[in-house]
Amino acid sequence: MGNIKLNNGILMPGIGFGTWKIKDYNQVIDVVKNAIEVGYRHIDTASVYGNEEAIGIALKESCIPREDIFVTTKLWNSVRGYNETICAFNESLRKLQLEYIDLYLIHWPSPLEFRDCYQEKNVETYKALEKLYSQGKIKAIGVSNFLKHHIEELKNFVSIPIAVNQIEFHPYYYDQETIEYCKQNDIIIEAYSPLGRGEILKDNTITDIAKKYNKSPAQICIRYAIDNQIVPLPKTISKQRMIENLNVFDFNLMKEDIDKIRNLSNDDKKIGSNPDTADF
């Protein structure tokens, strides 16, 4: 599993383990311990997932050296502003029982509650992230669901460049404008819902390509992200699927197959909310 170098020199494992919708306390502990056991070294969570505390226990019980695991969490939409962000961050740190977070992301650019002033609020919020970064409490700062215009609105007020943007990415959805913009600006893209939440796995194009490489449809979707220089964050509760989803580093997709998959994408097939109009 290769590491990706972020724009501040920090190394991030090139595949992460998604934990959204894994909520039951004991299940979270079991699943995350299994993920670490089979080789994941990058865990993606968020305060809104309600599982930070159990993930903290799983990390402890796994006895994994802190420097060997990369942990991401995110600031939820109910919180914006300098002091509020510092408080929310400290709460995540407490729940995760960690001394620092590897990557801290602003989860959405324009929360409904702050929609009329989201640009100023993002600047204040980002300043808090920069403060935490300078104190060593965050190793890298990023955003999630930010479109090109959200980043441009923030960019001039930022002294520590955005390292990561976590966005929806899978064979049915390719946000060309955001992807190109992030690549041009040295912002690493992470793919959320890289398996399209499971829907894509029955698509004939994907299953045909899977047969050609003697891989599973999920492995093709995950490799498709990697071959687009995007870091996938697949989620599963099954230990067998965890292993399957990690077993993607012994092949590359040929350009013709990347193009075929790319042709499946269509703006109408976006699964997640539109960052400008989300009703939360």
Ligand X SMILES: NC(=O)c1ccc[n+]([C@@H]2O[C@H](COP(=O)([O-])OP(=O)(O)OC[C@H]3O[C@@H](n4cnc5c(N)ncnc54)[C@H](OP(=O)(O)O)[C@@H]3O)[C@@H](O)[C@H]2O)c1
CB of 122 to ligand X, least distance (A): 15
Q: Of residues 60, 131, 239, 241, which one binds ligand X by CB under 6 A?
A: 241
Q: Does 50 bind ligand X (CB under 6 A)?
A: no
- Closest to ligand X by CB, 70 vs 192, is 192
Q: Does 195 bind ligand X (CB under 6 A)?
A: yes
Total residues at interface with ligand X (CB under 6 A): 28
Q: Of residues 236, 248, 253, 261, which one binds ligand X by CB under 6 A?
A: 236
- The span of 15-23, 95-103, 178-186, 250-258 binding ligand X (CB under 6 A) equals 15-23
Q: Does 275 bind ligand X (CB under 6 A)?
A: no
Beta bridge partners of 170: 173
Q: Of residues 57, 196, 210, 261, which one binds ligand X by CB under 6 A?
A: 196
Up-side HSE of residue 65: CA atoms within 13 Å toward CB? 2
Q: Which of residues 73-102 bind ligand X (CB under 6 A)?
A: none
Q: Does 244 bind ligand X (CB under 6 A)?
A: yes
Residue whose token pair is 């006895």: 63
Q: Does 40 bind ligand X (CB under 6 A)?
A: no
Tokens of 166: 């976590």
Please identify which of the residues 25, 40, 49, 100 carries the catalytic annotation.
Answer: 49
Helix (H), strand (E), coil (C) string for the chain: CCEEECCCCCEEECCCEECCCCCCHHHHHHHHHHHHHHCCCEEECCHHHCCHHHHHHHHHHHCCCHHHCEEEEEECCCCCCHHHHHHHHHHHHHHHCCCCEEEEEECCCCCHHHHHHHHHHHHHHHHHHHHHHHCCCEEEEEEECCCHHHHHHHHCCCCCCCCEEEEECECCECCHHHHHHHHHCCCEEEEECCCHHHHHHHCHHHHHHHHHHCCCHHHHHHHHHHHCCEEECCCCCCHHHHHHHHCCCCCCCCHHHHHHHHCCCCHHHCCCCCCCCCCC
Please indicate whether residue 174 is annotated as part of the active site. no
- Closest to ligand X by CB, 70 vs 156, is 70
Residue whose token pair is 């796995």: 201
Length of the chain equals: 280
- The span of 3-11, 90-98, 122-130, 232-240 binding ligand X (CB under 6 A) equals 232-240
CA pair distance 210, 89, nearest whole angstrom: 41
Q: Does 245 bind ligand X (CB under 6 A)?
A: yes
CB of 245 to ligand X, least distance (A): 5
Q: Does 145 bind ligand X (CB under 6 A)?
A: yes
- Closest to ligand X by CB, 6 vs 15, is 15
Q: Which of residues 174-193 bind ligand X (CB under 6 A)?
A: 192-193
Q: Does 201 bind ligand X (CB under 6 A)?
A: yes
Minimal CB distance residue for ligand X: 18
Q: Of residues 20, 82, 213, 251, which one binds ligand X by CB under 6 A?
A: 20
**Residue numbers at the binding site for ligand X (CB under 6 A):** 18-20, 44, 107, 144-145, 166, 192-198, 201, 216, 218, 233-238, 241, 244-245, 272
Catalytic sites, residue numbers: 49
